[in-house]
Amino acid sequence: MHTIAATTSAGLGLRRGLIPELLAMDDGAVDFLEVAPDNWIGVGGRFGEQLAQLSSRFPISAHGLSLSLGGTEPLDMELLKRTREFNERFDVVLYSEHLSYTSDDGHLYDLMPIPFTDEAIGHVAARIRQVQDVLGRRIAVENVSYYAAPYQALAEIDFINAVLVEADTDLLLDVNNLYVNAINHGYDPQAFLARLPPDRIASYHIAGHFDEDNDLKVDTHGAPVKGDVWSLLDSAYRRFGVRPTLLERDFNFPPIAELLAETWRIRMMQNAHDDRHRLLEQSRA
């Protein structure tokens, strides 16, 4: 059984287009692989065998796409049941979903923002609690990128914090999403970080984005991580400490060596913060 380190670990998203390169990686090239269970539940044949091979060599984390936590339709209990079976089969330690909705009289195939209202807080928190009960585990919810909010009675940070408390759940802090939203909606990402509860941060995501304009960034997951996002991840480590961190790349794949170089950069940042923490603790002793 493989486990993901509670702190220092750098992972890579398992995408089908990367499978040949992932299978050829050395053991230890990454600390874990993350999959969207929705895309793998019930998959057999060659792909199923390849997932089994990779899971025998690398710990697996899971990041759901389709639960539609903010939706109005009843939760898909069959999907939840099969997700629990998937998590148990692959010894998934970290399981997360998006703080969004993905269905409205059918699947929307996108991550839609939830209205930032008190009513929505109660609605989505109740659904998260139900998900945690069915899965038999605490989950983490991810802050999503958005370009137009349907209604904002509350600031994004107030909405997220209220959901975390009322649902009694954790946060997967997507640093790229935070950066993109801060630029697009004109707020200070450092001030956002300062108001997050440190004890709720379960893990981090980083990814690339597209610079449409100085004040418009598009979350693509199709490019290298940009310098400002690396700097924001460094700030998060400094404020909250090191947590498992995933590099997301969904298309426009470069040679695997370039992706591994980015995961190696994550590790180096984590090691630097661990060393700084140890020196600080020694100075206090």
* pLDDT for the residue numbered 274: 81
* pLDDT for the residue numbered 188: 98
Residue recorded with tokens 């703080």 = 99
Q: Is residue 78 part of a domain?
A: yes
Judged by phi (left if over 0) then psi (alpha if -120 to 50, else beta), residue 173 lies in beta
* pLDDT for the residue numbered 229: 98
Q: Is residue 5 part of a domain?
A: no
* pLDDT for the residue numbered 280: 66
Q: Is residue 121 part of a domain?
A: yes
Q: Is residue 2 part of a domain?
A: no
On whether the CB atoms of residues 96 and 203 are closer than 8 A, the answer is: yes
Q: Is residue 1 part of a domain?
A: no
* pLDDT for the residue numbered 148: 77
Which CATH number belongs to the domain containing residue 242 in this structure?
A: 3.20.20.150
Query: SS3 letters for the chain?
Result: CCCCCCCCCEEEECCHHHHHHHHHCCCCCCCEEEECHHHCCCCCHHHHHHHHHHHHHCCEEEECCCCCCCCCCCCCHHHHHHHHHHHHHCCCCCEEEECCEEECCCEEEEEECCCECHHHHHHHHHHHHHHHHHHCCCCEEECCCCCCCCCECCCHHHHHHHHHHHHCCEEEEEHHHHHHHHHHHCCCHHHHHHCCCHHHEEEEEEECEEEEECCEEEECCCCCCCHHHHHHHHHHHHHHCCCCEEEECCCCCCCHHHHHHHHHHHHHHHHHHHHHHHHHHHHHC
Q: Give the CA distances from residue 136 to residues 133, 139, 168, in Å, rounded to whole numbers and listed in that order.
A: 5, 9, 14
For the chain, what percent of residues have pLDDT higher than 90?
A: 79
Q: Is residue 3 part of a domain?
A: no
Q: Is residue 226 part of a domain?
A: yes
Residues of the chain with pLDDT under 50: 103-109
Range(s) of the domain holding residue 253? 10-284
Question: Domain count of the chain?
Answer: 1
Q: Is residue 206 part of a domain?
A: yes
